[in-house]
Amino acid sequence: MLSNIYSAAGDWVNFASMRLQMRSTGVQKFPRASSVEVDDEVHEFTVFDKLHPKSDKVYGMIDRLHQDFKQLNVSSRSISNGIGG
């Protein structure tokens, strides 16, 4: 989606403009799901999903990964862009 490209590029003016245009024309952005393996079992969830029975473990794993990446000096932006380091 074009608004995501603007966001990834840090072009917040065009990002905001695109989102306003989407809202005014009734276009909706639906949340995507992510999959995480915990204790040899794959779980699917959406952003801020606290309804999953193992959400505490899932978010614990995400926090642990975040700390590991910080120690490696890898930014979340480079991860989302598929670039390590």
pTM (predicted TM-score): 0.40
The reported pLDDT for the residue numbered 72 is: 84
Q: Is pLDDT larger for residue 69 or for residue 58?
A: 69
DSSP string for the chain: -HHHHHHHTT-HHHHHHHHHHHHHHT--PPPPEEEEEETTEEEEEETT---STTHHHHHHHHHHHHHHHHHTT--HHHHHTT---
What is the rounded distance in angstroms from the CA atom of residue 17 to the CA atom of residue 15? 5
- Read off the tokens for 39: 């204790």
Check whether 74 has a pLDDT greater than 70.
no
pLDDT tens digits for 10-38? Answer: 888 988 898 888 889 988 777 777 787 87
